[in-house]
Chains A and B, each alone.
Chain A
Amino acid sequence: MKYAFSFLAVIVLILIAGVGSQIAGMPYFFGVFVPYVAIAIFLGGFVYRVVQWAKSPVPFSIQTTCGQGKSLEFIKHNRLEAPDTTAEVVARMLLEIFTFRSLFRNTKSEIHDGPKITYESSKWLWLFGIVFHYSFLIVVIRHMRLFLNPVPEVVAFLDWADSMFEIGVPSMYMTTAGLIGGAALLFSRRLVNRHVRYISLVNDYFPLVLIFAIGVTGALMRHFLRDGIDIVAIKQLAVGLVTFSPVINGEIGAIFYIHVFLVATLLVYFPFSKLMHLGGVFLSPTRNMKNNSRAVRHINPWNPDIKPHSYAGYEDEFREFMVDAGIPVEKELPAQKD
């Protein structure tokens, strides 16, 4: 039901933009107003969320160590998995962010008769995740060719490299396929893997369907629904948006407005959803803290003033026993009066 609902929501979004943009005067609403609002909400929301996180302190040093910590000279320190210096932490974080290192460790457990539990390496999630995220990243960078004039060389190069295989006319981008395929695979995984299926919420299906639809509308626009897709007009609009002087020249097909509207939805949705893991992964204390907590004191800004049950109070309660047992005391017993 939850995934069906996600499809429904995306279909409604498509209808709104597809029908809406055909009404006279509305192209400016969908082509200018909506993108500006979406970008504003995205940036504002993103910053707001990160500031909200940063406002809460990190009271304790709670790094998760996944390897040997730094100790004696002859014990080999695992510098990536139990980092001791800032450089080591940065290396750990970079690997996490660029290679999804923790996911790479993933195993799948099964219980057999005996009982016997087995753990097999399982890299599907890692693979789908990598394909999906890198495709997403490159798709986003490639889009810069629309917004920037002249097109930076990196972007032009990516564009060229991405369509190297020259399948179709214009030739297909590998990352478009990666994005659509990746989203589809992640979605299928949600349905097929029983654990994931049980925990999945609308919040989990919806962004995948949305991104899938963004990818599909983009590909349709490039390869199939070329009618009314006037690249010059689109580039003019995109550059106009960036330079705050947007104009819409001539007619642009509905598919373009649908694509843009879905992207706008994603932007608006982003800061208020789990997609914020983009920002959160950098701030996760179990990964970004050094494992040097015995060598360098970590400060808790709200460290409460709590004293132990005092030794004096302890000795007062047990002095007699302590003296009897020959345990040294601070205060001797009062002289016996008989």
Chain B
Amino acid sequence: MAVPKLEQLSKSVVQGPSLATGAIPTRDWMDIPVHFKEGNYAYPAKKEKVEYLDSQKGLSFPNARIWSPEDDDWKLPEDWKEIILNGLKERLGKFRSLKIFMDCCVRCGACADKCHFFLGTGDPKNMPVMRAELLRSIYRNDFTLAGKLLGRMAGAREMTVGVLKEWFMYAYQCTECRRCSVFCPYGIDTAEITIILRELLHLVGVGINWILEPVSNSNRTGNHMGLQPHTYKDNVEFLADDIENLTGVRINPPFNKKGAEVLFITPSADVFAEPGLYTAMGYLILFEAIGLDYTWSTYASEGGNFGLFTNNESMKKLNAKMYAEAKRLGVKWILGGECGHMWRVLHQYMDTMNGPADFLEVPKSPITGTVFDNTASTKMVHISEFTADLIKHGKLKLDKSRNSHVKATFHDSCNPARAMGLLDEPRYILDHVVDWVEMPENTIREQTFCCGSGTGLNTDEIMELRMRSGLPRANAVKYVHEKHDVNMLSCVCAIDRATLTSLMDYWNPGVRVCGISELVGNALVLEGETRGELDDGLRTLL
């Protein structure tokens, strides 16, 4: 579907009659059915992808079929309702978070206007509290006394196909960014609700292709893009060629090398498409500069994990490759590239799911001797932690003037900010490599706004939705773009590098997007380099 013109959308978000702009819907939300039309939903997963995943050991993706959200009949299995209610029951028993979050919300509304989807669409069901109510109403009806006795009076309603459709709509208009949970007095995290909703929907074969295809690719080839080992290697080597052209230094990146000290894993998008490619060049230059004994892996060639957006079983299965590969190669520890949701998985789930990694050593920087005690158990270090430590110890020769064409700002990605607390390491690096400014205070750090297209929603068929949900982020960039001539939005996330690029092209043309490591790569002085003036850093066309 065509994206509306900038002027149109700019007007619509301000004047369109919506709860965000001041119009109060006259009908109760339970009486407003969802309506699917081209452009407001992401395409369902292809049948063969679902079948492939279902065939994998430890995963269950039943009810593969061809269906369309626009059809009245979603071809749900006969006993769909039982499946859903049993699935909910099972999850209430497995996740305390779900029970607590179902029971404790007081509907105080503190979260209501914190969600970028609500701010961009004005749809009341995009208020985090309302998103949770979509599930809570069913929970009340079938699992609480008050709901059973009083029904709708107590905010309960029966599970119907209409409700299921509503779940599909709004579970895929939430990027699990957790901004709402920062403001909630009980820390209610709507991401948890969305995670559960998506898990439940998969039980009846309802999922989207932009997520399940990467999951199945990642399972089979090791990465989302489906790059096979030779292609993956080629791609990285192309980047090494580019670096040689630009700097005169030849880098020969090692692959699947046994006995290397460090295994390096980054999102495959970094070796696949602009502008992530420049970030990957930054990694290569950095490792060359410090002479790191490391290896890439083609088997564990994906840092990202779309399993997080699917269900905990597939998250575990995909993530398990990292430790398996670290063990096979006999490395000492793992270094992770820049990515948002990847780091949520690594920081909060990996060790629990696939640890203990007792065959690895507590990470110690071979260059500075710093021991990363904060990773004593997972044995996985973030590239920003690693780089900041190198800078602190004066191990990098940095020429900030090589970034003089850049005036940067920094986008905190949701997950490193709110699920990890990685806020100041990237800032420390920025201070040393580039001239940069912060965006307004309510839009950064733990209050950062999502790019609007996370959790597997960076697909083109919902572009208008993405431009709407990305508006709060874009708006904050616009502010520094106009006030401080910012021309580069830096971040530590591969999905951001792709999605923010579309977002900037739409709302703030002239602002480009880069990874922090690209800026490091720009500024790094390599030994033996024969580098001329590169007026656009690593992006310079020779």
Which residues of A pack against B, CB within 8 Å? 5, 49, 52-72, 74-76, 78, 81-82, 96, 100, 102-103, 105-109, 111-117, 119, 125, 129, 193-204, 272-274, 276-277, 280-281, 283-287, 291-300, 302-311, 314-315, 317-318, 321-322, 324-328
A273: chain B residues within 8 A (beta carbon): 146
Q: Are B100 and A285 in contact (CB under 8 A)?
A: yes
Whether A294 touches B378, Cβ cut-off 8 Å, given contacts A56-B95, A75-B388, A204-B107, is yes
Residue B35 at the A interface, CB < 8 A? no
B372: chain A residues within 8 A (beta carbon): 71
Residue B4 at the A interface, CB < 8 A? no
Option from B106, B229, B356 in Cβ contact (under 8 Å) with A204 = B106
Q: How far is the CA of A117 from the CA of B14 in the complex (A)?
A: 9
Whether A309 touches B56, Cβ cut-off 8 Å, given contacts A193-B109, A203-B146, is yes
A325: chain B residues within 8 A (beta carbon): 229-230, 233-234
B347: chain A residues within 8 A (beta carbon): 293-294
Which residues of B pack against A, CB within 8 Å? 10, 13-14, 19-22, 24-25, 29, 56-59, 92-101, 103-110, 112-114, 119, 124, 127, 129-130, 133, 144-146, 153-155, 178, 181-189, 192, 219-222, 228-230, 233-234, 255-258, 298-299, 312-313, 316-321, 324-325, 328, 346-349, 351-353, 355-356, 370, 372-378, 380, 385, 388-389, 392, 417-425, 428, 440, 442-443, 445-447, 471-472, 475
Q: How far is the CA of A161 from the CA of B293 in the complex (A)?
A: 70
Q: Are B187 and A286 in contact (CB under 8 A)?
A: yes
Whether A196 touches B107, Cβ cut-off 8 Å, given contacts A61-B348, A109-B119, is yes
Q: Are A102 and B184 in contact (CB under 8 A)?
A: yes
Q: Are A298 and B351 in contact (CB under 8 A)?
A: yes
Nearest first, the 10 closest Cβ-Cβ pairs linking A and B are: A69-B421, A306-B58, A280-B104, A65-B421, A325-B230, A286-B187, A308-B320, A82-B421, A196-B109, A195-B112
Tell me, rounded to whole Å, the shortest Cβ–Cβ distance linking B99 to chain A.
Answer: 5
Q: Are B471 and A295 in contact (CB under 8 A)?
A: no
Q: Are A66 and B19 in contact (CB under 8 A)?
A: no
Highest count of chain A CB atoms <10 Å: which of B25, B110, B256, B388: B110
B419: chain A residues within 8 A (beta carbon): 62-65
Tell me, rounded to whole Å, the shortest Cβ–Cβ distance linking B155 to chain A.
Answer: 4
Give B328's nearest chain A residue, CB to CB. Answer: A311
Whether A198 touches B124, Cβ cut-off 8 Å, given contacts A71-B374, A111-B119, A274-B105, is yes
B97: chain A residues within 8 A (beta carbon): 58, 62, 284-286
Q: Are B421 and A200 in contact (CB under 8 A)?
A: no
Tell me, rounded to whole Å, the shortest Cβ–Cβ distance linking A95 to chain B.
Answer: 12
Whether A305 touches B58, Cβ cut-off 8 Å, given contacts A75-B388, A280-B186, is yes
Tell me, rounded to whole Å, the shortest Cβ–Cβ distance linking B238 to chain A.
Answer: 13
A314: chain B residues within 8 A (beta carbon): 220-222, 299
- List 18 interface pairs A-B (beta carbons < 8 Å), by A numbering: A5-B153, A60-B352, A68-B421, A78-B421, A96-B185, A103-B110, A103-B183, A111-B13, A125-B109, A273-B146, A283-B96, A285-B187, A286-B189, A306-B313, A307-B58, A311-B328, A325-B230, A327-B233
Whether A76 touches B424, Cβ cut-off 8 Å, given contacts A62-B97, A65-B418, is yes
Whether A56 touches B96, Cβ cut-off 8 Å, given contacts A76-B424, A202-B153, is yes
A105: chain B residues within 8 A (beta carbon): 182-183, 447
B319: chain A residues within 8 A (beta carbon): 308
Q: How far is the CA of A276 from the CA of B144 in the complex (A)?
A: 13
Q: How far is the CA of A112 from the CA of B22 in the complex (A)?
A: 11
Tell me, rounded to whole Å, the shortest Cβ–Cβ distance linking B218 to chain A.
Answer: 9
Option from A116, A193, A276, A315 in Cβ contact (under 8 Å) with B103 = A276
Q: How far is the CA of A76 from the CA of B421 in the complex (A)?
A: 11
Q: Are A297 and B425 in contact (CB under 8 A)?
A: no
Option from B96, B318, B442 in Cβ contact (under 8 Å) with A57 = B96
Q: Are B29 and A198 in contact (CB under 8 A)?
A: yes
Option from A82, A125, A295 in Cβ contact (under 8 Å) with B377 = A295
B328: chain A residues within 8 A (beta carbon): 311
Option from B95, B109, B392 in Cβ contact (under 8 Å) with A199 = B109
Q: Are A102 and B106 in contact (CB under 8 A)?
A: no
Whether A57 touches B107, Cβ cut-off 8 Å, given contacts A64-B418, A291-B421, A321-B229, is no
Highest count of chain B CB atoms <10 Å: which of A58, A285, A302, A311: A311
Give A64's nearest chain B residue, CB to CB. Answer: B181
Give A277's nearest chain B residue, CB to CB. Answer: B104
B377: chain A residues within 8 A (beta carbon): 294-297
B385: chain A residues within 8 A (beta carbon): 71-72
A117: chain B residues within 8 A (beta carbon): 119, 471-472, 475
Option from A67, A107, A287, A291 in Cβ contact (under 8 Å) with B187 = A287
Besides A65-B418, A76-B424, A194-B19, 18 more A-B contacts (Cβ < 8 Å) are A5-B153, A58-B95, A59-B94, A64-B178, A68-B422, A72-B385, A103-B110, A106-B110, A115-B10, A202-B153, A202-B155, A274-B105, A286-B188, A294-B378, A296-B377, A315-B299, A321-B228, A328-B256
Q: How far is the CA of A199 from the CA of B137 in the complex (A)?
A: 12
Give A318's nearest chain B residue, CB to CB. Answer: B229
Q: Are A308 and B96 in contact (CB under 8 A)?
A: no
Tell me, rounded to whole Å, the shortest Cβ–Cβ distance linking B331 to chain A.
Answer: 14
Whether A62 touches B24, Cβ cut-off 8 Å, given contacts A285-B97, A286-B181, A306-B58, is no
Give B377's nearest chain A residue, CB to CB. Answer: A297
A297: chain B residues within 8 A (beta carbon): 351-352, 355-356, 377-378
Q: Are B146 and A309 in contact (CB under 8 A)?
A: no
Give B105's nearest chain A residue, CB to CB. Answer: A274
B257: chain A residues within 8 A (beta carbon): 328
Q: How far is the CA of A202 from the CA of B182 in the complex (A)?
A: 27
Q: How far is the CA of A111 from the CA of B13 in the complex (A)?
A: 8
Give A81's nearest chain B residue, CB to CB. Answer: B446
Q: Are B417 and A65 in contact (CB under 8 A)?
A: yes
Whether A100 touches B185, Cβ cut-off 8 Å, given contacts A112-B14, A294-B377, A297-B377, is yes
Q: Are A114 and B233 in contact (CB under 8 A)?
A: no
Q: Are A102 and B182 in contact (CB under 8 A)?
A: yes
Give B98's nearest chain A residue, CB to CB. Answer: A56
Q: Are A277 and B186 in contact (CB under 8 A)?
A: yes
Q: How far is the CA of A287 from the CA of B186 in the complex (A)?
A: 8
Q: How far is the CA of A96 from the CA of B97 in the complex (A)?
A: 18
Give B137's nearest chain A residue, CB to CB. Answer: A201
Tell me, rounded to whole Å, the shortest Cβ–Cβ distance linking A107 to chain B.
Answer: 6
Q: How far is the CA of A280 from the CA of B96 in the complex (A)?
A: 10
Q: How far is the CA of A202 from the CA of B98 in the complex (A)?
A: 23
Highest count of chain A CB atoms <10 Å: which of B56, B185, B324, B443: B185
